[in-house]
Every structure is written in C-alpha cells, then in structure tokens.
Amino acid sequence: MNNLVEIRNLRVAFDGVPVLHGIDLDVAPGEALGLVGESGCGKSVTWLAALGLLPGKASVSGSVYLQGQDLTGAPRQALERVRGKRVAMIFQDPSSALNPVIRVGRQIIEALRLHRGLAGTAAKTEALRLMDLVGIPDARNRFNLYTHEFSGGQAQRLMIAMALAGEPDLLIADEPTTALDATIQAQILDLLITLRHEMSMATVFISHDLAAVAQVCERVCVMYAGKIVEEGPVAQLFDTPRHPYTQGLFDAIPSLSGPRRRLVPIPGTVPDPRHLPTGCAFEPRCARARTFCTQHRPELLPQPEGRQLACAYPVPVAQDAVQPEEEYQ
C-alpha cells in the first residue's frame, strides 16, 4: 500500500437522498490531483466526508484509508488527530472561512499548538515564518489584526499558512481561488504550486477552472452527479477526452493553445440528486447516448492507455479533438 489516501466505494446520502454513488479514488504521496465537475457533483462532499466534517444528517459508507488507517467510522479523537495534521483543507471563500472575532495570528498559533505543540514565543516565531512563507507582507505588524482587515487574497494566504501549520501530507484545496480576482487567482495558484514542491505535500485541487487544474495538477478526476466518470493524466484527458462529459467541459472553455474553437456549453443542467436518470446520469445531456445508456449505469473501468472511464460509447481515441464537435450540432 503505497498510496497516501485510498477511497473505496465512498457513498454519502443526505436525508436518504444519495449524492455520492460509490467513489474510488487514490492519492499518491506528493502528487497533485485535480477534481473537476459542475457545481453539485459532489467534489466537496467527497473530502468533507473523508474527514468526517459533514453534518450529522449525512450518512456515509465505504472506506477512506489514510496510509492504511480507515477514517470512516473512526472515533472523533482519531479524526481530530488527522485533521490539520495529516490532511489539511482550505475553502472557497477565505474571508468567511476565518473566524471574524479571533486575531489571525492566534488562529495560526492555535494550529501550531495543536499539531506541533508549540507555545509562547516559539509559536509566534513559527506563525510569523508561515505568514512570510505564504507572502503576507509585514507579517509582524499584521499578526494581531482581524480577518476583515485583510483582502480576500490575503485571507486565502492566511488560510494556507494555517493549513501548513500542521505540516500535512495532503492539502485539500476546495476551489481556493473561485472567490478571488483573476490576478490574485494566479498568485494563489503559483503559491500552491511552489509550496507543494517545497513541502513535498500531496495536493487535491478542486476547481471549475480547467486551465488552473492543468497548471497545478498531474492527474485529474472528472466527476458527474456523484460519480467519477473519467480519470487520468492531465495531458491525456486534455488532448483526448473520451467521456462525452469531459469533452463537453473542455469545449465549454476557451482553449489557451491550439486552434480556436467555438465555445459549446453542455446542453441541459445537472440532474437533481433526488431524480437521477435510471441509466447513465449524463445520458439526457449526451449527444452520443443510445438506448442502452438509458438502461445501464456504466462502471468506471481501466482503459488500455492508462486512464479510467465510465462510458458505454466513449469518444473514439483516434478521432481528432475537433471533429466530435460536429456531432453536437
């Protein structure tokens, strides 16, 4: 077992409505994995469930192994030792993710005390070092300020500093740049890339922004309606997406390199978890779907070229990336 995290058949339901339908996912030590998919497909829930952070009304089954230790159903104390220490998580809206009534320096020190047993001047020195590391200018004088006295980008840097405090093996970044301006986004992405290499920590990067995923990650998982539909190396999925949904995601963004393509949004919307189609969840929106797809849910299966795919009629490999667009018309 040389994976850092192995998620097996993870299922989550809220008030009896299933929203995750059996996720299998591995994270190797030090790797950067992207998790993409439209809003509501279960990207956040996957990792909140893994860390036991979902509200009580959520029922979770399956296993999440962290270097062999199963986290699902682990006692609260065991989870508390994992959170922040082995696996840290940062969130979308940094300004509301930091406590508004506690000085930011103290919030970082709290993590240092919990995970590294630091107190007093040692803790403060280390907190200041972390603030410097993530690029908070003039950390010493801003140590005692409150969250609202920082911009969104600075607040996200503080979140990252706090996440680094436990020297985690894995950082889950849940849409860390979505709430920020474009230039700030780029800075935060650079910071995440640098830190990952410096601290040799694995990163799971959850995002809608495929360009950002390509920049940060080596491997990417595409999720749709609570399932992984395609998984593989970033270059492979970008060059030859095989799941029609993956292809649809790429067609919906302006391509940075290569020939200019027309932007084609995926028709229709994400299905309501309470009324999923009986067959493939993507079938109603899929141009390649056939009758078979309305009856059968495809399994996520390994493909010869190394990726995993859950589709009965995938985009053929040999096909040029431009051609399938015709089929959408």
Ligand X SMILES: Nc1ncnc2c1ncn2[C@@H]1O[C@H](COP(=O)(O)OP(=O)(O)OP(=O)(O)O)[C@@H](O)[C@H]1O
Examine residue 46 and tell whether it contacts Mg ion (CB under 5 A): no
Tell me: does residue 166 bind another protein (CB under 8 A): yes
Q: Which is nearer to ligand X, 14 or 146 (CB)?
A: 14
247 binds Mg ion (CB under 5 A): no
Task: Using DSSP bridges, classify how beta strands 170-174 and 5-14 pair: parallel, antiparallel or unpaired.
Answer: unpaired
72's contact among Mg ion, another protein, ligand X, none, with CB below 5 to 8 A by partner kind, is none
Listed in sequence order, the residues at least 6 apart from 318 whose beta carbon sits closer than 8 Å to its beta carbon are: none
Residue 98 found at the interface with another protein (CB under 8 A): yes
CA distances from 65 to 5, 9, 24 (A): 6, 11, 11
What is the radius of gyration, based on Cα positions, of the chain? 21
Q: Closer to another protein at the Cβ: 152 or 284?
A: 152
The C-alpha atoms of residue 176 and residue 81 are separated, in whole angstroms, by 23
Q: Which is nearer to another protein, 102 or 122 (CB)?
A: 102
Mode of pairing for the β-strands spanning 17-27 and 5-14 = antiparallel
With CB under 5 to 8 Å by kind, the binding choice for 40 among Mg ion, another protein, ligand X, none is ligand X
Please enumerate in sequence order all residues whose Cβ is within 8 A of that of 307, keeping only pairs 6 or more positions apart, or say none. Answer: 230, 231, 232, 233, 236, 237, 242
> Of these partners, Mg ion, another protein, ligand X, none, which one is at the site of residue 190 (CB under 5 to 8 Å by kind)?
none
The partner in contact with residue 83, picked from Mg ion, ligand X, another protein, none with C-beta cut-offs of 5 to 8 angstroms by kind, is: another protein
Q: What's the min distance (Å) between Cβ of 99 and another protein?
A: 4
Q: CA torsion angle for 182, 185, 187, 193 (degrees, to 10)?
A: -140
Pattern of binders to another protein over 51-70, x per CB under 8 A?
x-x--xx-------------
Q: Which of Mg ion, ligand X, another protein, none sits in contact with 163, Cβ below 5 to 8 A by type?
A: another protein
Q: How many residues at the interface with another protein, by CB under 8 A?
A: 39
Which residue ranges make up the site for ligand X (CB under 6 A)?
14, 19, 37, 39-45, 55, 273
Closest to 106 in 3D by CA, of 53, 153, 154, 161: 161
Residue labelled with tokens 């999440």 = 64
- Rounded Cα gap, residues 179 and 182, in angstroms: 9
Cα(140)–Cα(132) distance, rounded to whole angstroms?
A: 9
Among 16, 68, 75, 100, binds another protein (CB under 8 A): 100
Closest separation between CB of residue 228 and Mg ion, Å? 15
Q: What residues between 25 and 44 interact with Mg ion by CB under 5 A?
A: 44
Please identify, using beta-carbon distances, which residue of 24 and 93 lies nearer to another protein: 93
d(CA 310, CA 230): 6
Closer of 51 and 276 to another protein (Cβ): 51
Q: Both tokens of residue 95?
A: 């300004």
Return the structure tokens found at 196: 């990952």
Residue 145 touching another protein (CB under 8 A): yes
Binding site for Mg ion (CB under 5 A): 44
